[in-house]
Structure 1
Amino acid sequence: MQFAVIGNPIAHSLSPILHNHAFSSLGIAGFYGRYLLQENQSFYHLRSLHLKGANITVPFKEIAFNSCDEAFGIAYEIRAINTIVFEKGKMLGYNTDALGFYLCIENLALKNALIIGAGGSAKAVAHILKQKGISVTLINRSKERLRDFCDFECATFDTFTPKNTYDLIINTTPAGLTNNDLPLKKEFLSPLLKSASLAFDLIYGRETPFLTLAKSLDIATSDGKAMLINQAILAFEIFMESQNIAFDPKILRQSMQNIL
């Protein structure tokens, strides 16, 4: 029984560690690996890998939505998928990013948030925050991607004028993943961070320039590690349900929380 995380780049992913430790802790015969999907390669190629399920990461979450035979829950609303089950020749899509993110901040008294970026992860974060009553503003480099966010206040980097301060600032872009870039110019980002309560970067496994800048301004920070664990637990539950495999949810949660 094989599973994998699909993306490009993918070598940095810690998902195999989380899922394989869960398999071992629960005594389930399963293996979870990584697969580098080239950007010019058809997404339907995944059907030939003989996987039972997969997690999808950048830059394929929206492509996954358009490739799946069916989408369920919030995945259908946001048109972005990070969890796929292969069942009876079909690809079935789910999104565990949205709830995985919200579980990280649900105990904070947040009124509004500024999201940097407009990709698949931004969709998940924006919609779950709106669903929970938190006002959302999005900014992105290009105007084209913002068309998917017609229900939100949006602006491009060069047209954005802050109307107020933001409790939460979230970087959903790849800036800092494989380079030392900030998602916005420092002179623009610093004033925004100074008035925030929390700077959250979806990237995990390294301190990004975004988080370094926030720390230098004495702003509380969080990387994407907790979100990674939360969404992985939710995805594992979907995988096992699709295979009709019973497991102890407490052991699952403990195994993933304690391995990283």
Structure 2
Amino acid sequence: MELYTIFGNPVSHSKSPLIHNSVFQKYAPNKRFTKTLLIDGSKLREVYQQLRISGASVTVPHKEIAYKVCDEVRGIAKKIGAVNCIVTEKGKLVGYNTDVYGFLDSISEWSDIEKVLIIGAGGTARALTIGFLERDWDITIVNRSEKRLENFREFPIKLYSWKDFEIANYDLVVNVTSAGLNDDSLPMDREVLEKVFQNSRYAVDVIYKDTPFLQLAKEIGLKVKDGSMMLIYQGVLANQLFTNNQIEKEKILKAMLEVYE
């Protein structure tokens, strides 16, 4: 039996075992996916080896540590500096990041995107910025404080704090803050957000549920998505790595959607 797990803190809410086991049960019965609460991220490599697992998903707050403990990092994860998927190859820990392309796959039907506004300036914003720049999208980031914007000065994008934000027309607005996760808050002043939406077409919240941000966007007439499909699509890409690309992407997606919905 090959074992896989997800490392996180918290991790009890994770749907990763559900979606990955749906694929393993159908197409790879010798594999099984579990969840592991990892409080001390510095012990990730040690625990990984103790569990004798063949691979792992990594969620908050351990993605940056995972990047550091891998023997090799491949693909866009090298630019982002964060790993959310690890596989064992010839005794080495190899790290990948499937979050960005999972997000892009989840909005693939919106094929006419050129201008994007990202609300928030944390790790997810950085990852999406790198992925969006690969598509030559025009990116603007707005954040409550100016301090976190310093981490984005290296990129050819527009940066604003709430104080100096200048609203423009956007194809896509993405909320990467935690506003609305456990309350009814919005990621920025309602009046300003309404004006943003009136000049936009699509909205995505990376939180896995219908949030006040998305509710307001729908009221104004935007097409919207929550983060659940991003979770599914990044999981599809991770599962391909776990199964060494032996299962067709469409079969993985179908199995995951059947149990998630």
TM-score, normalised on structure 2?
0.87
**Residues 146 and 17 (structure 1), Cα distance of their counterparts in 2 relative to 1, 3 Å cut:** same
| Greater CA drift, 147-156 or 225-234 | 147-156
**Residues 162 and 156 (structure 1), Cα distance of their counterparts in 2 relative to 1, 3 Å cut:** closer
Q: Give the whole-Å Cα distance in 1 for the aligned partners of 2:206 and 2:29.
A: 30
Q: Give the whole-Å Cα distance in 1 for the aligned partners of 2:47 and 2:95.
A: 13
1:61/1:82 contact within 8 Å kept: yes
Q: Percent identity?
A: 37
**Residues 160 and 56 (structure 1), Cα distance of their counterparts in 2 relative to 1, 3 Å cut:** farther
After the TM superposition, which residues 6-155 of structure 1 pair with which residues of structure 2 at under 5 Å, given as runs? Answer: 6-38=7-39, 42-47=43-48, 48-108=50-110, 109-149=112-152, 150-155=154-159
Paired position in structure 2 for 1:194: 198
Paired position in structure 2 for 1:208: 211
Question: Unaligned regions of 5+ residues in structure 1, if any?
Answer: none
Question: Unaligned regions of 5+ residues in structure 2, if any?
Answer: none
**Residues 44 and 102 (structure 1), Cα distance of their counterparts in 2 relative to 1, 3 Å cut:** same
Q: Give the whole-Å Cα distance in 2 for the aligned partners of 1:188 and 1:10.
A: 35
- Aligned-residue offset at 1:16: 1.3
**Residues 45 and 157 (structure 1), Cα distance of their counterparts in 2 relative to 1, 3 Å cut:** farther
**Residues 115 and 27 (structure 1), Cα distance of their counterparts in 2 relative to 1, 3 Å cut:** same
What is the SS of the residue equivalent to 1:23?
A: helix
1:138/1:152 contact within 8 Å kept: no
Tell me the C-alpha RMSD between the 2 structures.
2.3
The number of residue pairs the alignment matches comes to 256
Paired position in structure 2 for 1:253: 253
What is the SS of the residue equivalent to 1:203?
A: coil
- Residue 56 of structure 1 aligns with an amino acid whose one-letter code is V
Deviations 1:56-79 (A, max 9, x none): 222322232233222100110121
| Greater CA drift, 76-85 or 34-43 | 34-43
Q: Give the whole-Å Cα distance in 2 for the aligned partners of 1:84 and 1:198.
A: 32
- Aligned-residue offset at 1:39: 5.8
After the TM superposition, which residues 229-248 of structure 1 pair with which residues of structure 2 at under 5 Å, given as runs? Answer: 229-241=232-244, 246-248=246-248
TM-score, normalised on structure 1?
0.87
